[in-house]
Structure 1
Amino acid sequence: MSRIHPARWQTVEQLVDQFCESAQVPAIALQVLTSETTSHYRQGRQHINDQNGGLREDAIFLVASITKPIVVLGVLKLLEQGELLLNDRVKQFIPEFGCAGKHGITIRHLMTHTSGLPDMLPNNRELRSAQAPLSEFVRQICELAPDEPPGRIVQYQSTGIAILGELIQRITGKSTPQYLQEELFAPLKMHDTALGVPPEWESGASPKVNRIVEVRIPAELNIEPHWDWNSPYWRAFGAPWGGLFTTPADLGKLVHMLQQQGLAQQQRLFSSQTIQEATRDQLPAIPGLSETARQGKGWGLGWQIVTRAKSDYYGDLLSDQAFGHGGATGTVLWIDPEREAAAIILTTEPQEPQGRFLARLTNAIVAAIEV
């Protein structure tokens, strides 16, 4: 059994206050789950130029790449239904993908970042500046040549997750946002979660879109007014690799389901075996991937396995069983089965590549957990 030590939790709150009051981080909202307690805290500004705090209790955050393992969960739902196998070649479902050296790329390769594809398209900025639709990104990814043959390197790749989103659409006939809403968010009662801002969030007497917290855009990314994370274009885009909007409370429901090995809301959403497979390191079993290539790295199916060599975003104190994912907008979610604990830390300060604010908060949170 685990719980939060009250006095040590004060250190976590003080650290959040320090980051926000010094304007190092505009806004922070977190939720920590242990087997006995759930703790919440929030601080900061709803909008970057707010002078006196004002972060809403029901604030909605763009969580960026935490989206990735959630899209993978959607594909794993199809696996449980007998629609596909992890070692199926992607071209079986998306024929135009099977060119330019991508013939051998499997669904497992995409889920474990071993496909050899680059992270982003070479003209990613140009496409976003032109407000290109997701379909154009997918079309160009299908024409792309990988940097290495599949199964040779571990290289983080948003392009592969985009293809998993297309895979969902080809098999189900539904868009990825619709499919995730029906298969994940609705059953989990994640009522403030969506992949891309849906039209209904824009309407009504109190539009839900007003609850979205503004992200502070780094100067190097502030190139076009409609390009950035806060733009109507990007909010509605629904990128499978980084377009999820949600709250700490909603993500807590997803985390609890994972901790319960697929059980949620008194129903079994996934088999326990599926969750175990998704959260164990897949890299040692991938043929052709050398020990050198996977040294210091760990990937489950969509989830990053926290290793001693990989403390970015995750701090220094999590156990060898921990897994999670971070996001470029300044977010991280981690689950540590050994400590029977998990944390969701959502901020609006992009923290690539080291995620120092997130790592420091994680260290303070882990130190406050008694097992």
Structure 2
Amino acid sequence: MSRIISERWQKVEDLIDEFCQTDQVPAIALQLAVGDESRSYFSGRQRISDQADTLSDDAVFLVASITKPIVVSGVLKLLEEGALLLGDRVKRFIPEFGCAGKHGITLRHLMTHTSGLPDMLPDNQELRAANAPLSEFVQQICELTPDEPPGRMVQYQSTGIAILGEVILRITGQACADYLRQTLFEPLQMNDTSLGLTEEWMLGDNPRVTRITEIRIPEELDVEAHWDWNSSYWRRFGAPWGGLLTTPADLSKFAGMLRAGGRFQDQQILSPHTIREAIRDQLPSIAGLSVAARQGKGWGLGWQIVSASNSDYYGDLLSRSAFGHGGATGTVFWVDPELDASAVILTTEPQEPHGRFLSLITNRIVASIEPG
């Protein structure tokens, strides 16, 4: 069984402290699981203006695009229940979506970023500035013309994940946030996780809202304070493509479920067969997708497949069986079956496009693991 080498783990903590003490990263929280062992480490400031190391061990982070594969997992629950097939066209569930060249887009296309849709809407900033509701984003996505026909290109797209959230709503009658809470978060005892800030998080003597870390907004994105990542609007919005609020401990429970073949304690959250399909590279089997189009890329169902050429966020040492997802707020989640390990690294320093700090930390983590 793989294990953590204590003296090497100390170097992980030292690196994290160095990044925070030199203000390269305001805050870093890490949860690692290797075999039956687990380690956690927190360093830095809860608020950007704090003068001391104030990050609490129950801090909540906006994890951005790590949200995406969790929403996909919700759709896969519906697949297990017989409500849909991966090859179903989206217009079966959202009829108004099937226009402007989107007739042939399937659920699998949305999950693998091969739908041809753009990442964001052309009016993305205007919608946010107007504090538009999610329904308005969905309506505009339904009216979009794709950049390419489905199955021809691999193009990362938040718009497609927004539509998957709407598919959940159309099938279940529940908002995506409520559905994920009931089918995933509550069974996994992810009690500090929510897709969007709720009224419940505002209540009590120590409301969860006070535990949300402040993200350092890059100068090029510091346009409108009332709709940035720290704003009340964006925290409440609950974007299916990037609005998850959670903790390292909660996300580690999700990772543990994946490592255990879908099982958590005495519950089977997802079937082992579903997880096997979700973490399998889907791109080679998508008809019409050329070798050149998928070169250096790998996508399961919502999960990015780690490869030598997409080391952004994942470092250089993970095995080729590893999978995960990064987030624009400076976050990464990965599982490496070969190492029998998983890690959740949450920061408050956006690092796109290369996730350098996350990669450096991941390299140190992997170097601290002795394979079984």
TM-score, structure 1 normalization: 0.99
Q: Which amino acid aligns with 2:254?
A: L
CA offsets 1:63-113 (integer angstroms, 9 cap, x no match): 000000000000000000000000000000000000010000000000000
Asked if 1:53 corresponds to 2:53, the answer is: yes
Query: Quick check: 1:146 aligned with 2:150?
Result: no
- Deviating more after overlay: 170-179 vs 219-228: 219-228
Letter aligned with residue 308 of structure 1: A
Return the letter of the residue paired with 1:269: I
Matched, 1:241 2:241: yes
Partner of residue 368, structure 1: 368
1:43 deviates by 0.1
Distance, in Å, in 2 between the alignment partners of 1:271 and 1:36 is 22
- Report the AA paired with residue 93 of structure 2: F
1:204 CA displacement: 1.6
Which residue is equivalent to 1:359? 359
Alignment partner of 1:308: what SS? coil
- Give 1:1-371 correspondences, 5 Å limit: 1-371=1-371
Count of aligned pairs between the two proteins: 371
Q: Which amino acid aligns with 2:229?
A: W
Listed one character per residue, the Cα deviations across residues 112-149 of structure 1 (whole Å, up to 9, x for unaligned) are 00000000001111110110000000000000010000
1:168-197 deviation per Cα after TM superposition (whole angstroms, max 9, x unaligned) = 000000000000000000000000000001
Aligned partners of 1:55 and 1:268: how far apart in 2? Answer: 34
What secondary structure does 2:225 align onto?
coil
1:178-232 per-residue CA deviation (whole Å, 9 max, x = no partner) reads 0000000000000000000111101122211000000000111111121110000
Partner Cα distance (1:247, 1:208) in 2: 11
Contact 1:168 1:175 in 2 (8 A): yes
Distance 1:147 1:138 in 2: 17
CA distance in structure 1 between the partners assigned to 2:140 and 2:282 by the alignment: 28
- Cα distance in 2, alignment partners of residues 192 and 56 from structure 1: 14
SS at match of 1:366: helix
Question: What runs of 5+ residues in structure 2 fail to find an aligned partner?
Answer: none
One-letter code aligned to 1:18: E
1:345-366 per-residue CA deviation (whole Å, 9 max, x = no partner) reads 0000000000000000000000
Cα deviation digits, residues 231-276 of structure 1 (max 9, x gap): 0000000000000000010001100000001111211111100000
Deviation string, structure 1 residues 327-348 (Cα, Å, up to 9, x no partner): 0000000000001111100000
- 1 CA distance for matches of 2:270 and 2:240? 21
**Residues 312 and 355 in structure 1, CA contact (< 8 A), matched pair in contact too:** yes
Q: Partners of 1:205 and 1:272 in 2: how far apart?
A: 41
SS of the equivalent of 1:42 reads strand
- Deviation, 1:36, is 3.0
- Mean CA deviation greater in 204-213 or 84-93: 204-213
TM-score (norm 2): 0.99
d(CA) in 1 for partners of 2:52 and 2:9? 24
Q: Which amino acid aligns with 1:292?
A: A
1:65/1:328 contact within 8 Å kept: yes
298-307 or 223-232, which deviates more = 223-232
Please tell me whether the aligned partners of residues 304 and 325 of structure 1 are also in contact (alpha carbons under 8 angstroms). Answer: yes
Q: Deviation of residue 22 (structure 1)?
A: 0.4
Identity of aligned residues (%): 69
- Over the aligned positions, Cα root-mean-square deviation in angstroms equals 0.5
What is the one-letter code of the residue matched to 2:45?
A: R
CA distance in 2, matches of 1:125, 1:78: 32
The CA distance in 2 between the partners of 1:300 and 1:45, in whole Å, is 35
**Structure 2 residue identity aligned to 1:213:** T
Tell me if structure 2 keeps the 8 A contact 1:187–1:265.
Answer: no
Distance 1:315 1:137 in 2: 34
